[in-house]
Structure 1
Amino acid sequence: MLTKLSLATLPELEGKAALPAYDRGALSLGILHFGIGNFHRAHQAVYLDELFNQGRDLDFAIVGAGILPSDKPLREKLRQQDYLTTVVEQEADKSTARVTGAMIDYIQPGDTAAIIEKLADPAIRIVSLTITEGGYYIDPASGRFDPDHPDMRHDAANPAAPKTVFGLMLAGLAVRRKAGTPAFTVMSCDNIPGNGHVTENAVAGLADQFDPKLAQWVRANVAFPNGMVDRITPATGDREIGILAGEFGIEDAWPVFCEDFKQWVLEDKFPAGRPALEDVGVTFVEDVAPYELMKIRILNGGHATIAYPAALLDIHFVHEAMEDPLVRGFLEKVEREEIIPCVPPVPDTDLQDYFALIERRFANPKIGDTVARLCLDGSNRQPKFILPSTADRLQAGKSVDGLALVSALWCRYCAGMSDSGRVIPPNDASHERLKAAALDARDDPSKFLALSDIFGTVGTNPVFAKAFADHLTALWRDGTKATLQKFLSDG
């Protein structure tokens, strides 16, 4: 029997899924979160749900907020099921479902006044965000905040009517400052090196443009802890909705499927207070950087390494890519020979064991993670996940042959067709510019490396440029399969 998810039907779900052990009516808001997507609902919301199940910190429930038109359908679907979410954790040999209730409200996306009012509420002590790597208005090559972006110019000229997350936060902070209300903590949950520092640069950097005194107050009063988050969480589609209905008998308009593994490492900088997340597995440390660098280089860099060869070979699922000996061999060689050697030591962690765990996670057939998701937004992900390793090795005088092939595969992918001639749909905000440069690079590889906002000084390095050009030429002439075969045999 199929049961539609809601507070009223929770008793009917007993035995089908793990249910909240707390009274939803006892929760009160303490966190406002921008970017209520699958990852947030599989990660931060799950940790809070586990804490609430212990009867702890019930005053840190979540209110969602969004600024994009795409936020509206999810908000409406969640509203109709009382903001409950079914999270399905999948391993190769089992699947389990749980209903989480850590979010109790979701402001209508685009309602600027309501969002600012909630941000000014003293009850909100943490503002968290998952807005993707491309949402921070930073120059990809330099990593610096870009105050000249049109969105930033708009918010600087219209601080009372902002349209970005950072402008909204500043509007809320300005009200709190005037009222003498302590500042909230801003907690980024995105995969960006130094995500706390990056967020601070965006918030304070925007304030510098229109109110230097507010910017000074932000820097003195707002905490921006760095953090590392990890859980593989694919997009939701008809497949996931159907599995939930068929295997668990639950009708959820937008469930979340994810792996069983999750990790969260945070700096303990929460002057306005925080929930006791250490009691549900969050690791609090003085310095997140080693963990963060390990994860971004090895896991996220690994995703970027397999994404483009798999897409060019028309492979749909990530676990299928890991079943292909050429793609998996390419991942292992690049990781072990070029990426892992330039990752500094991490406390209580063996990097080779960590990579072995990553391989097992990528190969999980139950997750249903797609290659297309890994290929998304390459113009923001390459400069964060691949090119820093390339730059480190170039500086050390070490080979970048494999990393150059990763970038060449991305370039070949950006041309818009797989090896079989299948059209690759656009999935990057800079798609048109990337495609034009990639097609020009077929005859002159330097055309793609001329995208200096992405490649920075790496693109002008003669060692990298030659390796990139040789690989790109081979990809067009011989195809992805033959190019990977040669790369692996040369080793």
Structure 2
Amino acid sequence: MITKLSAAHLPTITTASVPAYDRTSLRAGIVHFGVGNFHRAHQAVYLDALFNLGQDHDWALIGAGVREADEAMRQKLGAQDWLTTVVEQEADTSAAHVTGAMVDYIKPGDSAGVIARLADPAIRIVSLTITEGGYYIDPASQKFDPTHPDIAYDAAHFDAPKTAFGLILAGLVKRRDAGIAPFTVMSCDNIPGNGHVTENAVAGLAALIDPALAQWIKSAVAFPNGMVDRITPATSEREKKLLADQYGIDDAWPVFCENFKQWVLEDNFPAGRPALEKVGVQFVPDVAPYEHMKIRILNGGHATIAYPAGLLDIHFVHEAMEHPLVSAFLKKVEADEILPVVPPVPDTNLDDYLALCERRFANPKIGDTVRRLALDGSNRQPKFIIPSALDRIRDGKGVTGLALVSALWCRYCFGTTDSGATIEPNDPSWARLTAQAHKAKDNPRAWLEMADIYGDLAKAPDFIAAFTKSLQSLWARGTTRTLQDYLADTL
């Protein structure tokens, strides 16, 4: 028997754990922009666990979105009373639980409705998972881009902004004018210094409107840095069917994820916060070492395996880890070139952390796809791969492996795998990337001409030489032979 997920049907669900708290007792304390799978498998899960302890029921979530595509999520979640089934999977175990931390979701495009919620004194935190590409960062300088058309629009239409940052700013101004203390703005995206980046976006937009407003933002509003981690693939019909077949639950948009999760936060919440330390969140004075480790080793590792696996027509990430060349490539690049430029992390052995990442990547039940890892390289490479290469160039160290990662990305963006299969567009800048990749087939330096992505790295002779040699090998000999040469130290 299949049970349609809803508040009314929670008492009949026996195959998954359900909220142990009275959801009618919840009161909103957080507005969250970007209600995607990761948020529902991470922040919402931590809050659900806290509510199950009988604590902090005034910190429930209200969703918000700024894209038309967010409406589909809102409608599906609304039809099931904002509930989500989260299925945690490891190689030999699976467990499902229904989370109930969300109590509402504002219709995308309703700027007035979002701003009104943000001005409510009950809202003390505004959080975001809007992806690495959603912060209007210039890839080369890694600084806020105030010239972006979306930002320019919000600056000119401050009464009805369209971006998350415009809405946040409008909400803060409304609170200030009403004598209400500012909420804390908390990024939950994989960006180095995500709190600083978010502050730069909000204050940068404010500076276009009124420099004094920008100064107020910087002095009055808290933007804690945080590191978040949980491998969470996209939901497809496969996951919906698995949930129905194995657990008898009909959820319009379930989330499947690994069992592992981590959240490290700076404790900078002047308006208050939920007691998340009681459910495993680490509060530390400085998040930078943790996020540096995670972004370089885990996210950099994902980028390292994504493109060779994609070129070899491998579909799932665990299948990539089963491929001896791809897994060996990951291990060698990490050990030789990434780990040596990752600073020490408190109470953490980096070799052990890499081994943990490798085990997580190899989880056969997650169903994470290579295509997801390869998505949006134009935003991810400058954050996950290029910084490690820059550090090594600065230290006078070799970059053969990291240059090969970049060459594999270039070859992937050409738009065909080694077998000749078409690679469908997989980046917001796909047309541009494909055009540059075609030029680079005969002139590898054409790829490095994308100064907004490569910055100073494109001027480094050692990186240029290593990249050129790698790309020429990929075209002349293919991915398999090139990986073999690299692993034999003959590339």
TM bracket, shorter-chain basis: over 0.9
Q: Are 2:187 and 1:183 aligned?
A: no
- Aligned counterpart, 1:282: 281
Please state how far the C-alpha of 1:161 moved relative to its aligned partner. 1.3
Q: In structure 2, how many angstroms separate the alpha carbons of the residues matched to 1:245 and 1:144? A: 45
Q: In structure 1, how many angstroms separate the alpha carbons of the residues matched to 2:323 and 2:129? A: 32
- Aligned counterpart, 1:316: 315
- CA deviation string 1:274-327 (max 9, x = no partner): 000000000000000000000000000000000000000000000000000000
Q: Are 2:15 and 1:12 aligned?
A: no
Deviates more, 1:153-162 or 1:235-244: 153-162
Q: Tell me the SS of whatever aligns to 1:135.
A: helix
- Aligned counterpart, 1:431: 430
Where in structure 2 are the equivalents of 1:101-140 lying within 5 Å?
101-140=100-139
Where in structure 2 are the equivalents of 1:151-230 lying within 5 Å?
151-230=150-229
Q: Are 2:394 and 1:362 aligned?
A: no
Q: In structure 2, how many angstroms separate the alpha carbons of the residues matched to 1:414 and 1:469? A: 16
- CA deviation string 1:214-266 (max 9, x = no partner): 21211111100000000000000000000000000000000000000000000
Letter paired with 1:191 = N
- Aligned counterpart, 2:33: 34
Please state how far the C-alpha of 1:358 moved relative to its aligned partner. 0.3
Please state how far the C-alpha of 1:489 moved relative to its aligned partner. 1.2
Q: In structure 2, how many angstroms separate the alpha carbons of the residues matched to 1:421 and 1:488? A: 25
Q: Are 2:410 and 1:411 aligned?
A: yes
Letter paired with 2:24 = G
Q: Tell me the SS of whatever aligns to 2:228.
A: strand
- Aligned counterpart, 1:468: 467
Please state how far the C-alpha of 1:213 moved relative to its aligned partner. 2.1
Q: In structure 1, how many angstroms separate the alpha carbons of the residues matched to 2:386 and 2:211? A: 34
Where in structure 2 are the equivalents of 1:232-251 lying within 5 Å?
232-251=231-250
Q: In structure 1, how many angstroms separate the alpha carbons of the residues matched to 2:69 and 2:484? A: 41
Letter paired with 2:268 = K
Letter paired with 2:135 = Y
Q: In structure 1, how many angstroms separate the alpha carbons of the residues matched to 2:322 and 2:90? A: 17
Q: In structure 1, how many angstroms separate the alpha carbons of the residues matched to 2:408 and 2:402? A: 10
TM-score (norm 1): 0.99
- CA deviation string 1:100-147 (max 9, x = no partner): 000010001111110011011111000000000000011111111110
Q: In structure 2, how many angstroms separate the alpha carbons of the residues matched to 1:141 and 1:152? A: 19
Letter paired with 1:202 = A
Q: Tell me the SS of whatever aligns to 1:307.
A: helix
- Aligned counterpart, 1:252: 251
- Aligned counterpart, 1:302: 301
Please state how far the C-alpha of 1:158 moved relative to its aligned partner. 1.0
- Aligned counterpart, 1:441: 440
Q: In structure 2, how many angstroms separate the alpha carbons of the residues matched to 1:415 and 1:118? A: 45
Where in structure 2 are the equivalents of 1:38-77 lying within 5 Å?
38-77=37-76
TM-score (norm 2): 0.99
Q: In structure 1, how many angstroms separate the alpha carbons of the residues matched to 2:129 and 2:426? A: 19
Q: Tell me the SS of whatever aligns to 1:479.
A: helix
Q: In structure 2, how many angstroms separate the alpha carbons of the residues matched to 1:241 and 1:201? A: 39
Q: In structure 2, how many angstroms separate the alpha carbons of the residues matched to 1:102 and 1:214? A: 33
Q: In structure 1, how many angstroms separate the alpha carbons of the residues matched to 2:119 and 2:363? A: 43
Q: In structure 1, how many angstroms separate the alpha carbons of the residues matched to 2:203 and 2:287? A: 22
Q: In structure 1, how many angstroms separate the alpha carbons of the residues matched to 2:417 and 2:78? A: 40
Q: Tell me the SS of whatever aligns to 2:61.
A: strand
Q: Are 2:352 and 1:353 aligned?
A: yes
Q: In structure 2, how many angstroms separate the alpha carbons of the residues matched to 1:18 and 1:8? A: 15
Letter paired with 2:179 = G
Letter paired with 2:210 = D
Q: In structure 2, how many angstroms separate the alpha carbons of the residues matched to 1:396 and 1:490? A: 21
Letter paired with 1:41 = R
Letter paired with 1:5 = L
Ranges in structure 1 where 5+ consecutive residues have no aligned partner: none
Q: In structure 2, how many angstroms separate the alpha carbons of the residues matched to 1:22 and 1:214? A: 41
- Aligned counterpart, 2:140: 141
Letter paired with 1:245 = A
- CA deviation string 1:331-358 (max 9, x = no partner): 0000000000100000000000000000
Q: Tell me the SS of whatever aligns to 2:398.
A: coil
Ranges in structure 2 where 5+ consecutive residues have no aligned partner: none
- Aligned counterpart, 2:3: 3
- CA deviation string 1:32-60 (max 9, x = no partner): 00000000000000000000000110000
Deviant stretches of 4+, over 4 Å: none
Q: Tell me the SS of whatever aligns to 2:488.
A: helix
Q: In structure 2, how many angstroms separate the alpha carbons of the residues matched to 1:26 and 1:104? A: 10
Q: In structure 2, how many angstroms separate the alpha carbons of the residues matched to 1:217 and 1:462? A: 44
Q: In structure 1, how many angstroms separate the alpha carbons of the residues matched to 2:78 and 2:157? A: 31
Q: Tell me the SS of whatever aligns to 1:485.
A: helix
Q: Tell me the SS of whatever aligns to 2:196.
A: helix
- Aligned counterpart, 2:87: 88
Q: In structure 2, how many angstroms separate the alpha carbons of the residues matched to 1:211 and 1:158? A: 13
Please state how far the C-alpha of 1:441 moved relative to its aligned partner. 0.2
Please state how far the C-alpha of 1:211 moved relative to its aligned partner. 1.6
Q: Tell me the SS of whatever aligns to 1:490.
A: coil
Q: In structure 2, how many angstroms separate the alpha carbons of the residues matched to 1:454 and 1:461? A: 14
Letter paired with 1:378 = G
Q: Are 2:396 and 1:383 aligned?
A: no
Letter paired with 1:481 = T
Q: In structure 2, how many angstroms separate the alpha carbons of the residues matched to 1:424 and 1:320? A: 18
Q: In structure 2, how many angstroms separate the alpha carbons of the residues matched to 1:425 and 1:211? A: 43
- CA deviation string 1:161-204 (max 9, x = no partner): 11110001011111001000000000000000000000000000
